[in-house]
Structure 1
Amino acid sequence: MATQRQAAGTGAQGQGGEHFLVVFAGFHRPWATWIAHRLETHGHRVSLHRWDPPREIPLESALGDLLLASGRILLVLSDWFFQLGPRPEGEWSEALRGVVAANAHRFAAVNLTNRALLPATAVLEPVDLWGIGAQEAERRLLGRLGLPTGGPRRSVPAGPGSRYPGDPPAVWGEVPRRNVRFTGRDDLLNRLQQHLMDAEHSTAVVALLGMSGIGKTQMATEYAHRFSSDYDVVWWVNCDTRGTLRERLGELAPELDLNAGSEPGERIRALKEALRRREPHGRWLLIFDGWDDIEGADDVLPEGSGHVLITSRNRSWGEGRAVVLDVPGFERGESTGYLMRRAPRLTAAEADEVAAELADLPLALVQAAAWLGESDMAVGDYLRMVRDGELSELADQTGLDDVPRSSLTSWSILINRLREAQPHAVELLSLCAAFAPGRIPIGLVRHLPASDLPEGLAWLATDLAGWTRALDTLVNYSVFTRDTRTALAGEEPGPEQESVHMHRLVHDIVGRLTSPEERALHRKVVRRTLAAADPGNPQDSRLWPRYAELLPHLEPSGALASRNERVQDTVLNLLRYCHRSGEFRTGVQLAEQVREAWSEFQPPEHPRMGELTTQQGNILRAYGSFRAAYELDRELLDRLRAAPGTEGTALMTATSCLAADQRYLGQYTEALQAQREVLETALDLLGPDDYLTLLAQHNLGTGLRLLGRYAEAYEVDLETLRKRESLLRARHPATLVSGNACARDLRLMGRYRDALARQELGMRLHLQVLGAQHPQTLRARHNLLLCERRAGVLQDAGAAMASLLEHTEQVHGRRHYATIGLVVDHGNHAREHGDLGQARELIAEGEAGFRELLGPAHPISTGMLTNTGLILQASGDRAEALTLFEAALAGLTATLGPDHPWVLGCALNAAGGRNFTGRLDAAHELSRDTLRRARQALGDDHPFTLSCEVALAMDLRGLREHEEAGKVEEDALQRLTRTLGAQHPHTLAARQRIRPYWDFEPYLG
């Protein structure tokens, strides 16, 4: 039962150094490690000895064995130390008076508690280290051992566990309270620590696996407390749902003073980067409790020098990054030790009999020990009831196959007895079973007025003393634990903020022991509680923690199928929260559940179904499921148009959603027509200054831009920007979106310097308002890079694009359309600067990604052919390049018409391809036509138009039309110099007679 650790210095005792054996219970490992480190710095040798001798070994013999060690023996004492075994106080007293007193010169002790120790410990003359600082604790330790406190010190590496245990980690993330009755598991905890310490860089992930009730959470809690001095950051994450997991993990970002905004995904991305970089702390521990749904785990799990501990029932963790550690039931000695400490009246034989009956299952032993410790029932009577009692509601039920029958009977006994003696406690317990297992914000129930509660439960709101007694009773009987989570921002701690943690197995058993009538009543109360707790504004990121808290309880409370309008409002607000906070995957799943439930009692044309469709479509669109969103929105709009008397705002919203879908699907003309209809309706119903009207106007600008009507888009966007600055504020996120749109328009119009100036200002505002990692900020940064590239001022664009791509991938993942678009722009830049290998890889990835996301016929998928053609042309494969140029030109002409700027760009490349393959007449013909169309679409002085003019001059020169070629070239050079400047890369390339080209920047809107 002992673990030895020979301290640094073994075999080379320093001058005047001694050897000390530090003896401790595993519970106090941090203190033992710190004591060893302090003694080592003073030149002494130290061995650590975890001590928990089996109960069958006489205590005098166990203490006598310690004397076999050389040097002096230092005991680390507390009231917990004397519960080892456990052993009767008399046995301890006799051993202290005997072995220890006879060898008093060998023994010394420190005391870590403010509680009274056994009188016989006086022989040890323990020095008190309770509640003092590190410097004073070291002085007292050395003084007790008769060692000098001054003099030279050895340089000993700090290492794990060397921080003073009285100094907590810099960040302590609401780890559950330490269980003072935690028993055994020492070998398992040491193995866990060893796995984490020995793991290679970026792979320090351990998953504790086991059945419900086996003690995984208790082990994780004990590890966090026992090894806390190894870490600077310890953060606990309850994994009730993916949404709560991400919300809770993201809350670590502000604790580390990271400038990461309030959106969970943004916070997680900033957090992962900080942890990877060891900034501001390199020694961190993240604990994910109850992480069973591991889809998307790689998006959450950090890398770096810290440690990740997971508790789960999902064995799939072993197939990935995690080292799996199976958690078995108690060993018999651990079972009996726990029972005898919790119920001191039990004899060793009785404890052994109870442990055997309950199959050493920790959760069952906790409940049995609580019952036997709190009641005066004879152990024999208890065992007879367990063996012979009827399981009533639990008999022959499925889903409890892993739970021993004796354990189920034990729970039945407890709840039936409480029902007789403490009915309020059982009512509160049954109410908790109507929430989801795990963390339950039970105090929210007290926000309900008594009139909203059933007559039998009105006491929940009015009887504070009864509430407190019921909670205390359930905690004392170990039915659940009080949660350590603090109140939300702006809330004063109190009964209304009370939370408890209910084990999944206990939750299941209590639910089965509750009658159907009571269960229905309690679920109704929980639904009302959730509705009352809804802050009512999911757009406010300060309220997102509350929404994350409510989310897990929707389904178990029956809220998804509720016909109550207030409850339905809450469900819709939680969908809005998923959309606003970036929890798209959770939102997609929740929306589908709601649709399935509401379809049972709501007709498709009901307004609620329309609201649901709007939110579901928004989430699907943001998630990249454009076709699914389109099908939903189109069906709703068709139904609304067919129904007589449809409300104008409902029709407007549905049309707006469909127009957004059409833009993403490449149906640009149809989308613009629908968006004009939306704007006209908004102006008529809401007026020109309404938020929704301005949103409709902004979307109109987007539609015009996608159709290549850049000047018109700029006029619309500039008007929207001015109104938003006036009606909202200059720093409102919607205003920033308009500023970004205006800069994009200016760039596409060829006004590169104006675009850059506006985007630089917008970028500064994005950083100040939203933070560096917000998705909107990343879009602004992308546009800034493109503005700098076109303006010819970016010196190291490749490094800047690579950095932005890394951050964007952290935000959205590699396959999101925003990331794919940046991959393409990065590839175009790499090709332009001669890195064909990287360019080929990036462009191929971008082309495949857009084809998979949008289909092969989408304008963006078609336009990508021209980027691939430029790679082939640069590699010398001119014939194949021309084939792709011509395919892109034909495809985009068919879908967008001959005058769209994207079509003109493809034509510029196709003319170049014809020239390079010797088809000079065809090249000249296409170049002249392209120049004519570019002048009409973009204007005479647009940089693209001037590129077309330079290309025409080259084709004329190829046909030996030197006089006209010279005139065309000279006109183009004068205009380029006047428009862009003599030193702009486009101007310099034209002077060097480098054939101009056009690379496609994919843009979805």
Structure 2
Amino acid sequence: MVELRPPEGSGGPGGTGQPSQHFVVAFPGYHRSWATWLAHRLESHGHRAILQRWGPSREQPLEEALGDLLLARGRVLLVLSDWFFQLGPRPEGEWNAVLRGFVNENAESFAAVNLTNRTLLPATAVLRPVDLWGVGEDEAERRLLDRLDLTPAAGRTPPAGPGSRYPNDPVAVWGEVPRRNSQFTGRDELLNDVQQRLTDAGPGASACALIGMSGIGKTQIAAEYAHRFSPDYDVVWWVNSDQRNTQRDRFGELAVELGLTESSEPGERIRAVRDALRRGKPYSRWLLVFDGWEETDEIAQYLPQGGTGHVLITSRNRSWGEHTEHVDVAGFRRAESTGYLMRRAPHVSAAEADQVAVEFNDVPLQMAQAAAWLGESRMEVSEYLRMVRQGGAGGTGGRAALAEYPESSLTSWSILINKLRQTEPHTVELLTLCCAFAPGRIPLGLVRGLNATDLPDELQWIATDRPAWARAIESLVNYSVLTRESRGNANSEGGPERESVHMHRVVHGIVDELTASADREVYRKVVRRLLSAADPGTPKDSRSWPQYAELLPHLARSGSLTSNEPRTQRLLLNCMRYCQSGGEYRAGAELADQIREQWSQILEPDAAPVLELATIQGNILRAAGRFREAYDLDSSRLELLRGAPAADEEALMTATSCLAADQRLLGQYAEALHKQREVVSTAQRLLGPDDWTTLLARNNLAGGLRLLGRYAEAYEVDLDTLRKRETLLRNRHPDTLGSVNACARDLRLMGRYQEALARQELGVRRHVQVLGPQHPQTLWARHNLVLCERRAGTSRQDSGVVLAELLEQQEQAYGRRHFNTLALIADYGNYLRARGELTRARELITEAENGYRRLLGQAHPVPTGMQSNVGLVLQAEGDRDGALNMFEQALVGLRTLLGADHPATLGCALNAACGRNFTGRLDEAVELSRETLQRARRALSDDHPLTLSCQVALAADLRAVRERTEAGKQEEDALQRLTRSLGAQHPHTLSARQRVRPYWDFEPYLG
């Protein structure tokens, strides 16, 4: 099969007078990268080369297969290794006979390069292979030309294109790709199909998913693709995706390898990686492999929308076909099954290999196990099949795990385990320990950090007998039970504690059943101990998050959830804190439910760990937008504590604070404020006015005041908190920066726009310096800066571009439906509406309104107020009746929920008065405008921008009913106040002077 035909050329190499020659580079698919490099070198010297992937079937006579190569024009260059002589596979005698006969007779038509340091077949000497193993590119090229009797071309220019890098030169960034399987068999057509699909796809759409059942070989194919085609790329990065938190951390680690950011915050790293890959800087040729990615809902968070790189996904989920090219991965073809088996077990004949393949339906996972057994044991196939068919070793277990596999697969594993029990007991003990972990990546090296005294008697050999450990690992790898993995890149440092292995989930399920014994709990206790010992103890430090991501999958399997050990319980709580701090809300909520279910059986409801769990779980639910669940959890906890015989005031304070936070988010602002005052009072009495917890309580108190529209009071509390935090924590502490955000927001809501802008500009600079530009708190600070600039009328940046960028980053951090993202969607929609981009504005504002309604229900201030924003879009589109309907609904709803004097209600009233005016209900407009102005003056002040907007609107309504004298007085007074407070050139002042009707954007905010 011809893989590549180079461009046409004419003439000989420049300056040599040597005529151009033709070559056929024949290679097994395993060595495609070398064949490509050889062809490129020959082309660079003015010759023509055709790549010929050569893998004759066992049924084709070897002489005939070699003769076919001679049908092409030119000399045949064979790419040799020990792998080459396993093609077929064929006995050594057959190869030696053909080399001594047919090849020797046509020796001038053949040449060869040797890529191995192992001894080749004796008769290979007839080919005079040139040794390229372990030499640099220049020397390899010199040897190649010398072997082919070619003169180097003068002034040559190497052809551009993929695959031109020397295969021995490492990829610039190589990220944790599984080791190349030296036994990998076949799949050439599938691999070439994947490569062709990725190459043919347009920029930004080069993604392909390998779809198939467990054990079918998807991961092995992806790993082989990464190795085989690595010269086509400068970056190859492998992402284990069976756990979302692991996937996020692993993908984000690429940012460090690319030198993009020093931040350890995953959201910032992910954004930086996507942007760099999209732009192709610092590398344009990249390959991302997402192994075991089953969830398609976060595809936009990871896949770069553009760029010239490629993405390869392995999954059991067939819905990937909606997002990418997809390739169905079936079992081996029969020739692949038999070829694989005969290579690993040379004593097996072709007919016998066929019998084994039939028995196991050509399933790669089972063929690997059968081949390993037969290769290691040298057992006759007839005896092996007899044992398999008769259920040779007793109970097989694990049937649920092998539901898709033939019945005989179960017995073959049983045979292996029984044999190991008799001959290698340490290997079975190590295998049993592996089964105390969850399947997938197993950080087995952690056990190397334990002392012998930390291990039970039967496992103390692990700490004292290193050779036995090495032999056990090697045996399990040889039998295809485990594969070796390494944590980090080849250049990273790490001792034996960083060693890890991988156990396929199907293998794990079967082996777990087969190794089950009465002492299973002993092994799980060991795993619990080493997991606890590996706890970094710093769950809020993002530098520790990759370690927690590695520990998290093994908690349930090891029995950690049911442990009474304080260290293990502390590990569980720290893993919960990691999920909260790292934004892993789904994983955190699931883990919390599992822990709560188990702890309810072993701990009292008021036990300290249970109360601590409730606090963290509530925080996670709240952050995830599951407000009602958090409220129910915190209500139950508070009721429990209040009913306790001996009151724990600090625990009561914490529970009350959590419930107040829930109530703020649920729109119960007055009740929340009352509870928060209790919290502040208790904190000051128990801990003092300057304690960290007291300052946090005061910060939350200010938030409650702000939600009630009491902006001046909120600012007073926030400013006092900021001053204390600056003294106690210094001005670069995240909590201090949070207070800067709060003060700037208060000032903006108070109408002191220039002061707000000045504070927020400095605050954003410090946020970026301390936390990085993609930290969630920084995203909010940048969002608030855009709003401050717009209100101040002095934007120093394109607000639309910034809002679009922030929306993309916010979505990466939280998802599209998160309440923080919805707030940005709403503000971006308001901005676009004001710019006249009505179609996109309507889409965004409708999306935000529907999202808030799903999240919060109907009777909540935020979705109610969002109706006013919808009304403004309808009004801009000319649907004045529809707009008025939206304004009136928002006004009635907010009066009921927040009261008539709340600033949000006043803003909706301003819009409703406009709607009445535009639909001819002039007297009603005047009445509402007059009432709104009076309320605004009482609630906000005479000079607040919203108050002055109400005054300008009243003047317009008075002119409409021909009360021109009063209209003139109101307008003149409003213009003087606007000029004095905002400046003559402020957009509000200019609009009022031009008699443009003012409006009010509802700004959704949950606290």
Q: TM-score range by the shorter chain?
A: over 0.9
Deviations along 1:301-360, one digit per CA (max 9) or x if unpaired, are: 444333222223333434x22333333333333333333332334444544444444443
Which amino acid in structure 2 is aligned with residue 500 of structure 1? Answer: V
Q: 3-state SS of the aligned residue for 2:311?
A: strand
Give the C-alpha shift of residue 543 in structure 1. 0.5
Whether the aligned pair in 1 keeps the contact of 2:441 and 2:501 (CA below 8 Å) is yes
Deviations along 1:110-161, one digit per CA (max 9) or x if unpaired, are: 22223333343333232222233333332332232222213254674x3332
Matches within 5 A, 1:588-599: 588-599=589-600
Aligned to 1:886: 888
Aligned with residue 332 of structure 2, among 319, 330, 335: 330
Which amino acid in structure 1 is aligned with residue 208 of structure 2? Answer: V
Whole-angstrom CA distance in 1 between matches of 2:397 and 2:859? 60
Whether the aligned pair in 1 keeps the contact of 2:176 and 2:489 (CA below 8 Å) is no
Q: 1:382 to 1:844 in 2, by over 3 A?
A: closer
Q: 3-state SS of the aligned residue for 1:501?
A: strand
Q: 1:914 to 1:643 in 2, by over 3 A?
A: same
Aligned to 2:691: 690
Whether the aligned pair in 2 keeps the contact of 1:13 and 1:45 (CA below 8 Å) is no
Give the C-alpha shift of residue 998 in structure 1. 1.8
Matches within 5 A, 1:385-464: 385-394=387-396, 397-464=399-466
Q: 1:383 to 1:910 in 2, by over 3 A?
A: closer
Whole-angstrom CA distance in 2 between matches of 1:10 and 1:4? 18
Whole-angstrom CA distance in 1 between matches of 2:915 and 2:319? 53
Give the C-alpha shift of residue 61 in structure 1. 3.4
Q: 1:885 to 1:363 in 2, by over 3 A?
A: closer
Q: 3-state SS of the aligned residue for 2:555?
A: helix
Deviations along 1:373-432, one digit per CA (max 9) or x if unpaired, are: 333545554444333343422169444333333332222222112112211110010110
Whether the aligned pair in 2 keeps the contact of 1:263 and 1:582 (CA below 8 Å) is no
Aligned to 1:31: 34
Matches within 5 A, 1:164-313: 164-259=166-261, 261-294=263-296, 296-304=298-306, 305-313=308-316
Deviations along 1:710-738, one digit per CA (max 9) or x if unpaired, are: 11111211222222223223222222211
Give the C-alpha shift of residue 517 in structure 1. 1.3
Unpaired segments ≥5 residues, structure 2: none
Q: 1:488 to 1:1003 in 2, by over 3 A?
A: farther
Q: Report the TM-score when normalising by structure 1.
A: 0.94
Whole-angstrom CA distance in 2 between matches of 1:641 and 1:723? 32
Q: Is 1:116 matched up with 2:116?
A: no
Which amino acid in structure 2 is aligned with residue 780 of structure 1? Answer: A
Whole-angstrom CA distance in 2 between matches of 1:734 and 1:41? 62
Aligned to 1:531: 532
Q: How many residue pairs get matched?
A: 1001
Q: 1:827 to 1:260 in 2, by over 3 A?
A: farther
Deviations along 1:190-219, one digit per CA (max 9) or x if unpaired, are: 222223223344443333233333322221
Q: Report the TM-score when normalising by structure 2.
A: 0.94
Matches within 5 A, 1:977-996: 977-996=979-998
Aligned to 1:756: 757
Give the C-alpha shift of residue 918 in structure 1. 4.8
Whether the aligned pair in 2 keeps the contact of 1:260 and 1:270 (CA below 8 Å) is no
Aligned to 1:133: 136
Deviations along 1:64-90, one digit per CA (max 9) or x if unpaired, are: 332222211111122222222333333
Whole-angstrom CA distance in 2 between matches of 1:465 and 1:684? 62
Matches within 5 A, 1:21-100: 21-100=24-103
Aligned to 1:9: 8
Q: 1:956 to 1:193 in 2, by over 3 A?
A: closer
Whether the aligned pair in 1 keeps the contact of 2:56 and 2:65 (CA below 8 Å) is yes
Give the C-alpha shift of residue 962 in structure 1. 4.4
Whole-angstrom CA distance in 2 between matches of 1:582 and 1:999? 30
Whether the aligned pair in 2 keeps the contact of 1:232 and 1:284 (CA below 8 Å) is yes
Q: 1:817 to 1:183 in 2, by over 3 A?
A: same
Which amino acid in structure 1 is aligned with residue 221 of structure 2? Answer: M
Aligned to 1:770: 771
Whether the aligned pair in 1 keeps the contact of 2:397 and 2:514 (CA below 8 Å) is no
Q: 1:687 to 1:469 in 2, by over 3 A?
A: farther
Q: 1:504 to 1:841 in 2, by over 3 A?
A: closer
Give the C-alpha shift of residue 743 in structure 1. 0.9
Aligned to 2:617: 616
Whether the aligned pair in 1 keeps the contact of 2:437 and 2:558 (CA below 8 Å) is yes
Which amino acid in structure 2 is aligned with residue 233 of structure 1? Answer: V
Identity rate of aligned residues, in percent? 66
Whole-angstrom CA distance in 2 between matches of 1:4 and 1:812? 45
Whether the aligned pair in 1 keeps the contact of 2:486 and 2:499 (CA below 8 Å) is no
Q: 1:1001 to 1:451 in 2, by over 3 A?
A: same
Aligned with residue 160 of structure 1, among 152, 159, 162: 162
Whole-angstrom CA distance in 2 between matches of 1:141 and 1:220? 31
Unpaired segments ≥5 residues, structure 1: none
Aligned to 1:973: 975
Q: 1:380 to 1:644 in 2, by over 3 A?
A: same
Q: 1:57 to 1:944 in 2, by over 3 A?
A: closer
Aligned with residue 862 of structure 1, among 864, 881, 886: 864
Deviations along 1:50-105, one digit per CA (max 9) or x if unpaired, are: 12223344433332332222211111122222222333333333333333333332
Deviations along 1:912-965, one digit per CA (max 9) or x if unpaired, are: 344445555544444344333323322232222222333334444445554444
Whether the aligned pair in 1 keeps the contact of 2:631 and 2:662 (CA below 8 Å) is yes
Whole-angstrom CA distance in 1 between matches of 2:876 and 2:404? 66
Q: 3-state SS of the aligned residue for 1:211?
A: coil
Aligned with residue 145 of structure 1, among 141, 144, 148: 148
Aligned to 2:742: 741
Bigger mean CA offset, 358-367 vs 513-522: 358-367
Q: 1:352 to 1:450 in 2, by over 3 A?
A: same
Aligned to 2:516: 515
Aligned with residue 809 of structure 2, among 807, 810, 827: 807
Give the C-alpha shift of residue 485 in structure 1. 1.9
Whole-angstrom CA distance in 2 between matches of 1:129 and 1:279? 33
Give the C-alpha shift of residue 567 in structure 1. 1.9
Q: 3-state SS of the aligned residue for 1:132?
A: coil
Whether the aligned pair in 1 keeps the contact of 2:175 and 2:489 (CA below 8 Å) is no
Q: CA RMSD in A?
A: 2.7
Q: 1:260 to 1:949 in 2, by over 3 A?
A: farther
Q: Is 1:726 matched up with 2:727?
A: yes
Q: 1:183 to 1:799 in 2, by over 3 A?
A: closer
Give the C-alpha shift of residue 437 in structure 1. 0.9
Deviations along 1:483-505, one digit per CA (max 9) or x if unpaired, are: 1223999x963332221111222
Whole-angstrom CA distance in 1 between matches of 2:606 and 2:92? 76
Q: 1:386 to 1:925 in 2, by over 3 A?
A: closer
Deviations along 1:432-484, one digit per CA (max 9) or x if unpaired, are: 01111111001212333434432222333333333223222222333212112
Q: 1:224 to 1:873 in 2, by over 3 A?
A: closer
Give the C-alpha shift of residue 262 in structure 1. 2.6
Whole-angstrom CA distance in 2 between matches of 1:839 and 1:309? 36
Aligned to 1:506: 507
Q: 3-state SS of the aligned residue for 1:838?
A: helix
Whether the aligned pair in 1 keeps the contact of 2:401 and 2:506 (CA below 8 Å) is no
Q: 1:395 to 1:854 in 2, by over 3 A?
A: closer
Bigger mean CA offset, 992-1001 vs 604-613: 604-613
Q: 1:65 to 1:961 in 2, by over 3 A?
A: closer
Deviations along 1:595-617, one digit per CA (max 9) or x if unpaired, are: 33333444544443322222222
Q: 1:291 to 1:917 in 2, by over 3 A?
A: closer
Aligned to 1:579: 580
Bigger mean CA offset, 709-718 vs 27-36: 709-718
Give the C-alpha shift of residue 220 in structure 1. 1.5
Give the C-alpha shift of residue 872 in structure 1. 3.5
Whole-angstrom CA distance in 1 between matches of 2:920 and 2:198? 66
Bigger mean CA offset, 660-669 vs 447-456: 447-456
Whole-angstrom CA distance in 2 between matches of 1:930 and 1:313? 60
Aligned to 1:945: 947
Aligned to 1:552: 553
